[in-house]
Amino acid sequence: MKKINIKTAAYSLAMAALVMSVSFSCKPSKQATATGEAATEKISSNMNGTGKVMEITFEKGKAFNHPTFAIWIEDTAGKFIQTLFVTRSFGSGTFTYGDKSGGQWKPGQVKRPAALPNWSHKAGTAKGMVNYIPDQSNPLPDAYTGATPAGNFALETRANKETARYVKVFMEINQTWDWNEYWTNNKYPDNFEYKTSCQPAVVYSAVVDIQKPGSAVELKPVGHSHYSGDNGNLYTDLNTITTALHIADKVTVTVK
């Protein structure tokens, strides 16, 4: 019987294990496609509605870091029609880092008026309120909320009922800790709500032809919201907004 060289066998086994580990590590992860591009998460909202199905595609920008956002539609005269989607933390009022009463962060109810003030005031007016900030006692229905996407996403959604041919689709997006040279951490030292927003929320918009399926319309930034949520005004000067304009790289709407 031929003797087996123990050192040679051990070396062979080690090399085989190394090759296997390298082979597995080279496979695309769940977050990437075969071409190395980021995967697109498929989400949906209000699919029991009877309006035309729209797909809103979001490509994250270089400053993306799990933002809060709302998507809604208005008529061409600027009248609020309805909400299509809001990230669940804001839509329920329960944030992962909402309660530090015990010394450590844990989920808790928090109201953040500076997060999405343009949507909050418009949605509030439609409800007969000055400002609608969802909480445990008055949350946004589950049909219009979902977990914050981890990156690129495609939202399939529809209005509750048929709309006029042309509608304006809006997206308001915000994330904290994005100070810049203008929106500094001591710009409004006594304003707590400002410090929860830093750079104000950015609002994107586009007019969409509901009767023209298949063509993608890109939402463009049209202004920013109030820095602390005191009102729902849209401020069209974006010269002081820097990284907040790079949370999203591209947002498009396609009618199905």
**pLDDT tens digits, 4-50:** 443 333 333 333 333 333 333 233 233 444 444 679 999 999 999 99
233 Cβ neighbours under 8 A, 6+ residues apart: 118, 225, 226
Residue 19 forms part of a structural domain:
no
Tell me which DSSP letter residue 249 carries: E
Tell me, yes or no, whether 40 lies in a domain. yes
Tell whether 4 is covered by a domain. no
- For 48-96, write each residue's pLDDT tens digit: 999 999 999 999 999 999 999 999 999 999 999 999 999 999 999 987 7
What is the structure's pLDDT at 4?
40
The whole-number pLDDT of residue 204 equals 99
- Per cent of the chain over pLDDT 90 is 78
- Tokens in use for 2? 């031929």
The pTM assigned to this predicted structure is 0.84
User: What total number of domains does the chain contain?
Assistant: 1
User: How far, rounded to the nearest angstrom, does the alpha carbon of residue 220 sit from its chain's CA centroid?
Assistant: 15
Burial degree of 194 (CB within 10 A; 0-12, 13-18, 19+):
buried
List the domain range (segments joined by +) for residue 217. 31-255
In a domain, 9, yes or no: no
Q: Which H helix or E strand runs over 217?
A: strand 216-218
